[in-house]
Structure 1
Amino acid sequence: MKPIAILAATAALTLSAAGAAEAKGCIKGAIVGGAAGHVVGHGVVGAAAGCVVGRQQANKRDREKATQPAPR
């Protein structure tokens, strides 16, 4: 129970302190990756990987939005 409380407190603190521009996609990915990694005993590695993947997906969405033609 204690690790879950620590994880929740860390996630809440991170979400409140992070700016949207710097951490776009990273926070959500880190939370999901950290939770998945915690299940298999590698929470920090999962959070780091989740951050990288989340950021990559956010960049991909931004590129797709930039290439779409403007609606008339």
Structure 2
Amino acid sequence: MKRQFFGAVLAVCGVAALAAPAAEAKGCIRGAIAGGVAGHMVHHTITGAVAGCLAARHYYKQKAREQRQQPAAAQ
């Protein structure tokens, strides 16, 4: 059962890595590290890393969208 779960997690990570543009990789790596550490505390390191990566990607994507929608500052 653990092997199947681990395989599914790796597949999700692979799809997430392929779907993420290079600019968002930094956020994913930061989120994966933070999520992995937090997940390790409750014995779910891989799940925490995947969740952290997805959460960070979402945060940085939303932040970039907000920056694009703001009008250019009048100078």
Indicate which of 52, 58, 61 corresponds to 1:59. Answer: 61
More helix by share: 2
5+ residue gaps, structure 1, are 1-18
Q: Within 5 A, what are the aligned runs for 1:14-53? A: 21-53=23-55
Contact between 2:24 and 2:60, CA under 8 Å: does it hold in 1?
no
For this pair of structures, how many residues does the alignment match?
54
> In 2, Cα distance between the equivalents of 1:43 and 1:67?
36
Taking structure 1 as the reference length, the TM-score comes to 0.69
Kindly, what percent of the aligned residue pairs are identical? Answer: 55
Deviations 1:6-40 (A, max 9, x none): xxxxxxxxxxxxx9525141011101100000000
Structure 2 SS opposite 1:70: coil
Q: Which amino acid aligns with 1:33?
A: G
Structure 1 SS opposite 2:25: coil
5+ residue gaps, structure 2, are 1-20
Closer/same/farther in 2, CA of residues 59 and 70 from structure 1, 3 Å limit: same
Contact between 1:24 and 1:58, CA under 8 Å: does it hold in 2?
no
Q: Which runs of 4+ in 1 moved over 6 A?
A: none
The reply to whether residue 71 of structure 1 matches residue 53 of structure 2 is no
User: Over aligned residue pairs, what C-alpha RMSD do you find?
Assistant: 1.6
